[in-house]
Structure 1
């Protein structure tokens, strides 16, 4: 079984969506990433170079959310998952994009899309 590093609730403002006002005004998106990897080498060495530096990964994920707009959060989730898998130590990722201010005319708590890429215990 693989170990996990979890980054939950990463918030950034993006301009994603199919409606013009979403692109114009932007809205907050929230990202949760569960990285599957072996943390034993880092635990043994006590060296951040032997694991995923989650602060630097968070910076890259925020750049994607705040970067080029896409229509669908499915597309955004795919791009974010690919960035997580670009880390050589990451074997799999479960990545969720939340769109809490989605343009829905009913009261709701959250809309999210979760993708699983690579290998993982799912």
Structure 2
């Protein structure tokens, strides 16, 4: 399956279990893979035959910078749901949400969840 990837979109949101996360907020990174057949847009060179990356970005931004969730799993699920319902050409998507600075002790680069969802037939 062909795919469009949008990497390391950065947003500021208020997701987390701890009150300070909901009050102070923090950075989140989102990567998406959009699975679809890219032959038609590759041959036609017409935007209507593909998916507009800018529209994808705005949908994701509204979720990550919107209503706080307790878990980044819920953020990822909401992103996948809105992408699959917004684009008829989209067959499946993989969404990765990274929290680079979670308030937990230890030494690590980040925590993340990655989900893959397919359109229901």
If the length of structure 1 is used for normalisation, what is the TM-score? 0.93
Which residue of the partner structure matches residue 25 of structure 1?
24
Match of 2:66 in 1: 67
Structure 2: tracts of 5 or more residues without a match: none
- The alpha carbon displacement at 1:64 in A equals 0.5
Q: CA deviation at 1:104?
A: 1.4
Deviations 1:8-27 (A, max 9, x none): 10010000001000000000
Matched, 1:79 2:81: no
SS of residue matched to 1:97: strand
Q: CA deviation at 1:85?
A: 1.0
Q: Distance in 2 between matches of 1:102 and 1:52?
A: 32
Deviation at 1:113, TM superposition (A): 0.4
Local SS of the residue matching 2:113 = strand
Structure 1 residue 56, shift from structure 2 partner: 1.2
The unaligned stretches of length 5 or more in structure 1 are: none
Q: Which residue of 2 aligns with 1:91?
A: 91
The aligned length equals 118
The list of structure 1 runs, each at least 4 consecutive aligned residues, that deviate by more than 3 angstroms after superposition, is none
**Deviation at 1:43?**
1.2
Match of 1:4 in 2: 3
* 1:64-117 deviation per Cα after TM superposition (whole angstroms, max 9, x unaligned): 000000000000000011122121111011110000011111111010001110
Q: Distance in 1 between matches of 2:84 and 2:110?
A: 26
- Residues 25-72 of structure 1 deviation map (CA, whole Å, 9 limit, x = unaligned): 000100010111001111121111110101111011011000000000
Q: Superposition RMSD on alpha carbons, in Å?
A: 0.9
Q: SS in structure 2 opposite 1:105? A: coil
**Alignment match, 2:117:** 117
